[in-house]
Homo-oligomer: A and B are copies of this chain.
Amino acid sequence: MKRIQKVAITGGTHGNELTGVYLIKKFIKNPNLVKRESFETIFMHTNLGAIEQCTRYVDKDLNRTFTLDGLNDNSLTSYEDIIAKKINQELGPKGSDNPNVDFVMDLHSTTSNMGLSICISTEDKLSWQVAAYVKEMIPEIHIFSWKGDTNDTSFISSIPPSGFTIEVGSIPQGVLRADMFFETERIIQAILNYFELYNSDEHTKKYNKIEIYDNVKAIDFPRDEQNSINAMVHPTLQENGYFKLKKGNPIFVDLDGNEILYDDIDGLYALFINEAAYYEKGVAMCLAEKKTIEI
């Protein structure tokens, strides 16, 4: 078994998600907080331009820019395309058998009230073992299996084979929320603890299965003939991440107050409900199937 040598914590991939931005600032001031005996931890602000402006991105979503095709396409010259290539060199490169870091955890927040989540996009066995350990340590965390909204894996956490995204919410864009800040740090510490165990002889526990929310589809807001949103998330869902939907549940309410009922597969769970950044992506929420999988 290959030992873990280097782990990366990335924050500010979306510059207006301040939890990650300020956790990285904290680690810069006090690196000992994330130091472990058996491996090196590095941490970095990834999208400095967006952090400076307190916007999600400068030109395009950095966390959809790490496809192999995009990283290899030198004709792409947006701010995020350029920094993605630099980050890829530092943490990867993607596709390498021997990337510079063994694991990337990328820190995010969402305006959706879904508590603590790990978004995992890979079949990689180590990533799933880490997720299972974190779930054992912090049982309230949800594991969301999601390949993202692009064809190829495009998240920064996909640079090495192992990694995932940490999502906490609800937090408005541009806001620091103390409770979520410390909860995110708790998740980071659990992950680092796992690798310390992994590298030691003591580590024998292997997880065989895990409860996940497996992405089925994203659904958009109802829109009018001008493509303008004409209905809002129904109040029964607004504050309820991982809400179990049944046919006939009100899911949206239009601007006049008329309810729009859910008429899709019974028993799917709604998450990423009313995430601000997904309005432009045409996503009002994601629907996922709850299941236990072997890992």
Using a CB–CB cutoff of 8 Å, the interface residues on chain A facing chain B are 22, 25-26, 30, 54-55, 111, 170-179, 181-182, 228-229, 232-235, 238, 253, 255-257, 274, 276-277, 279-280
Contacts and interface: CB of A to CB of B under 8 A. Distances in A.
Contact of A234 (B170, B178, B256): B178
A178 B229 contact: no
Contact of A175 (B174, B178, B256, B276): B276
Given A181-B232, A182-B257, A173 B174 contact: yes
Closest 6 CB pairs of A and B: A172-B172, A174-B276, A111-B172, A178-B232, A176-B232, A26-B255
Given A54-B279, A255-B22, A276-B172, A178 B238 contact: yes
Contacts of A182: 257
B255 A179 contact: no
A54, A170, A178, A234: residue with the most chain B Cβ atoms closer than 10 Å: A178
9 contacts: A22-B232, A55-B55, A111-B175, A172-B173, A173-B174, A173-B276, A176-B233, A177-B233, A178-B253
A212 to B, nearest CB: 27
A262 to B, nearest CB: 15
What is the copy number of this chain in the assembly? 2
Nearest to A169: B172
Contacts of A177: 232-233, 238, 274
A172 B18 CA distance: 14
A229 B274 contact: no
Contacts of A22: 229, 232, 255
A233 B178 contact: yes
Contacts of A181: 232, 255
A167 to B, nearest CB: 15
B178 A277 contact: no
A173 B111 CA distance: 9
A171 B172 CA distance: 8
